[in-house]
Amino acid sequence: MTRKTDRRRFLKAGMVGALAPAAAHAENFVTPAMTTPAPPGGPYGVPDRQEAGVTRLATPLAPDISPGTASSRTPLHKLDGIITPAGLHYERHHAGVPKIDAGKHRLVVHGLVDKPLEFSVAALLRYPRVSRIAFLECGGNSGANAAATPPQTSVDLIHGLVSCSEWSGVPVKLLLDEAGVQPDVQWIVAEGGDAASMSRSIPLQAVYDHGLLALFQNGERLRPEQGYPMRLLMPGWEGNLNIKWLQRLKLVREPAFTREETSKYTQLQRDGIARQFDFIMPVKSVILVPSVGLPVQPGYQQITGLAWSGHGAIKSVEITIDGGQTWQEAELSGPVLPQCLTRFRLDWTWDGTSTLLQSRAIDSQGNQQPHHAEWAARFAPGQGYHYNGIQSWQIDAQGRVRNVHA
């Protein structure tokens, strides 16, 4: 049975069920909300109270030894489209969320430059700005699936350290050109103003090509947990180097080898060699519905999920509903943009028999998701950074969903 036939049958059945009762009461279709004027909206919009369950999962990571180290994961399976509301965007903090006085905050551009510069927020707001829709993803996102035994938990706890927003701000190259970059500069060290002094080394050319000094998120000024009053944005690059609360850009000849690029955010391989400065997040896709905690009912439904790649745009997503025996191309819901979340969908009629669902994404550079076994053969046990193995959901005859390696 084709997808088009499935959808036609579903729509026909749905219209019969929905229209018959409505037609019978069309003459007296007055609801309580239509009889009494309601209060006006408030100064800042919030979701309806009936949507109170759509929240992030907040997880302190080491409260006894490292206060403020925590993460909050986006409820991907409860959202639609590709833009993440600012209040549901994932967070990852290494020393909590600092309270910064935007009036006193300064960004310093120094090091191997002709003219060191200091910028206030007010000054930066006068510069030409551009906007970019792009995802951010923590380097450790999906890393729980790197374990030999996959976790039986909701999809946001596994994959929820990724979100997508419209970011607006000043191209970093404007500030670099104003400072005058000296010929032998190869790297920039970006530093945040939090208690962790989060610092990362980034190749100069990449910052010239892609770096954005983000001041706005989804049309409003950055929120404190997203780096207010300013952050660095490197679309498609590892979340940790998109430095929040940005206060310093130092131009140097060589990388600084900070804590976050030596003891952390490196990828130990089976041969004992760790991959370092592997910045770009690999191609990935995840079926969000169905998933663990979202049981399946027999009959027509829609498989839906997200795909993304730091290397470019998503070219295609293929889905198997029979454990890899056959693959079907999913529909990509536009817009399909580079370094951006892309929504995919596939119509499916489940007959009530046990099966295995998987998705695999291919990006515009030809990169394709590996199976878990392929990924695990390359990296040492316990290494979870940049994990992009195919997500497998096993569905039993009762419609229950389990996370498996297949």
Half-sphere exposure of 9 (CA within 13 A, CB side): 12
* DSSP code for 234: -
Which token pair is 221? 């000024």
Residues of the chain with CATH 2.60.40.650: 284-404
Residues 6+ apart with CB under 8 A from 140: 161, 384, 385
* pLDDT over 90 at 400, yes or no: yes
- pLDDT digit string (tens) for 264-280? 999 999 999 999 999 99
**Sequence-separated (6 or more) residues with CB below 8 Å from residue 31:** none
The closest of 139, 135, 138 to 163, measured between CA atoms, is: 135
| Overall average pLDDT of the 286-291 stretch | 98
Is domain 106-275 in CATH 3.90.420.10, yes or no? Answer: yes
- Least confident among 68-77, 147-156, 283-292, 312-321: 68-77
pLDDT of residue 60: 78
Q: Where in the chain is the domain with CATH 3.90.420.10?
A: 106-275
Does residue 16 surpass a pLDDT of 80? no
Per-residue pLDDT, 62: 73
In the numeric block, which tokens belong to residue 194? 């939090």
Residue 197 has what pLDDT?
Answer: 94
Q: What is the mean pLDDT of residues 38-58?
A: 93
User: Structurally, what CATH architecture does the domain formed by 284-404 represent?
Assistant: Sandwich (2.60)
Nearest to 305 by CA among 318, 321, 287: 287
What confidence score (pLDDT) does residue 268 get? 96
Lowest mean pLDDT among 66-75, 158-167, 256-265: 66-75
Q: Which residue has the tokens 């053969």?
A: 377
Q: According to the model, what pLDDT value does residue 66 have?
A: 73
Mean per-residue pLDDT, 381-398: 97
Confidence of residue 104 (pLDDT cuts 50, 70, 90): very high
Please choose, from the candidates 231, 348, 29, 195, the residue with its C-alpha nearest in 3D space to the C-alpha of residue 358.
348
pLDDT band at 83 (very low <50, low <70, confident <90, very high): very high
Give yes or no for residue 260 having a pLDDT over 60: yes
